[in-house]
Structure 1
Amino acid sequence: MLAFDRRLVPSIVAMAVIVIASNILVQYPVTAFGLGEILTYGAFTYPFAFLVTDLTNRWFGPAKTRLVVCVGFAIAVALSLVLADPRIAIASGAAFLSAQLIDVTLFNRLRAGTWWRAPLVSSTVGSALDTAVFFSLAFAGTDVPWVSLALGDFAVKMAMALVSLIPYAGLMNWVKPYGNALAR
């Protein structure tokens, strides 16, 4: 059994806040510049979940990061059921859990390489999985233009993954890797 580490609380809180905010904001299309058919405001907040996951993984390792993902998932889904449409909350939970867990695994496997490869590749694969699972579960069978929204969302996630490399690089030296970089 993995003992709870109180140092994980900021990551758990950040994860829950990001997911809840994203679940609320995904319900609002970006109407500026006619983007309402391809973009919601949730696309701008959710990619930061990958930054939190990657920094937590770098600092505490994959086992504790999985704990952060699972606890953040439980809190976010429970609160999202109250604060967002239940279909969105359930779709978000499924997408979040699958995407973040694949991110943890990929990041850990790539962490010994070039500094930017692990966060960029893991966020890219995680974002693709998250987008596919979330939009198909949340909006398939509705009149929401979910395919175009998914494509717009994924494009923003990719842009945000690149932008997130800046704070990741800045925090890399502050957030030292945990003991055994290859531990599972």
Structure 2
Amino acid sequence: MHDLVSRQGRRLMLILALFHIGVIAASNYLVQLPFSVLGLHTTWGAFSFPFIFLATDLTVRLFGASLARRIVLVAMAPALVVSYLLSVLFVDGRFAGLGALATFDTLVARIALASFCAYLFGQLLDVRVFARLRTLDRWWIAPTVSTVLGNLLDTLLFFSIAFAGSRNAFMAEHWLQIAWVDYAFKMLISLCVFLPLYGVLLGFLARRLQSMTADRTLRTPAWLR
């Protein structure tokens, strides 16, 4: 039984790590596609990256902070590679051709490093805050506070490292405004869409785990007791 649980845990960690990498890949492409709302600049990446915080918070709630941190550590190196490759191969959302891989681009390297740092520190902060607040009676407090703080750190780290003083004139001039608008969109999406979705998924997974723990060979998780 212990070996079975261990194998299931490793499989779950791999699936969640691949999910993180997939969202990072999508976000690194979508962040190259800016758009304006009421004269404010943001990017389509604001709509994809909150998925990672949803997955992380559910992981902490269901399986603990230790597994969530392991997932972040497993995903961070592939995330750096994926970020660089996508930033080289796609410029302003257009495919640049495989020949682009033959040269090293410092701007692209900055974007990849920014994505790496933002993901690593934003997720670790999210895990830490959520783990501290998860025992509160109201289920929505932990995901709300951790998402607000984690996304803030993630957004400011990414845009400052990637674009402050860069040779991309538009992003160098507008990165701070874009960062704040991007953060505002993330908060709007996270609190209006992802927080309710978190509650629905939490309830569904709780019922599934409770039915599984009807087998006395499995111990009921502490948060379900």
Superposition TM-score, scaled by structure 1 size: 0.89
2:143 corresponds in structure 1 to 119
1:60 corresponds in structure 2 to 63
Counterpart contact for 1:54–1:104, Cα < 8 Å? yes
Q: 1:150 aligns with which of 179, 185, 188?
A: 179
Larger radius of gyration: 2
2:48 corresponds in structure 1 to 45
AA at the equivalent of 1:150: A
Deviation by residue 1:42-99 (Cα, 9 ceiling, x = unmatched): 1111111100110111121101100111112222111111111322111010011001
Shift of 1:8: 1.9
Shift of 1:164: 0.5
Q: 2:162 aligns with which of 135, 138, 141?
A: 138
Write the distance in 2 (CA, Å) between the matches of 1:96 and 1:43.
14
Could you list the runs of 5+ residues in structure 1 that have no partner in the other structure?
none
2:101 maps to 1:77 = no
Superposition TM-score, scaled by structure 2 size: 0.73
Write the distance in 2 (CA, Å) between the matches of 1:180 and 1:109.
15
Write the distance in 1 (CA, Å) between the matches of 2:76 and 2:196.
26
Counterpart contact for 1:91–1:133, Cα < 8 Å? yes
Q: 1:10 aligns with which of 15, 18, 22?
A: 15
2:35 corresponds in structure 1 to 30
**Quick one: percent identity of the two aligned structures?**
41
Q: Secondary structure at the match of 2:177?
A: helix
Q: Secondary structure at the match of 1:112?
A: coil
Write the distance in 2 (CA, Å) between the matches of 1:127 and 1:94.
13
Between 1 and 2, higher relative CO (CA 8 Å, sep ≥ 6) is seen in 1
Greater strand proportion:
2
Q: Secondary structure at the match of 1:5?
A: helix
Shift of 1:175: 2.9
| RMSD of equivalent CA atoms | 1.8
Could you list the runs of 5+ residues in structure 2 that have no partner in the other structure?
1-5, 88-107, 210-219
2:118 corresponds in structure 1 to 95
Write the distance in 1 (CA, Å) between the matches of 2:159 and 2:149.
16
AA at the equivalent of 1:23: N
AA at the equivalent of 2:110: R
Write the distance in 2 (CA, Å) between the matches of 1:97 and 1:74.
10
1:169 corresponds in structure 2 to 199
Write the distance in 1 (CA, Å) between the matches of 2:177 and 2:134.
33
AA at the equivalent of 2:221: G
Instruction: State how many pairs are aligned.
Output: 177
Q: Secondary structure at the match of 1:173?
A: helix
2:131 maps to 1:128 = no
1:179 corresponds in structure 2 to 221
Shift of 1:34: 6.1
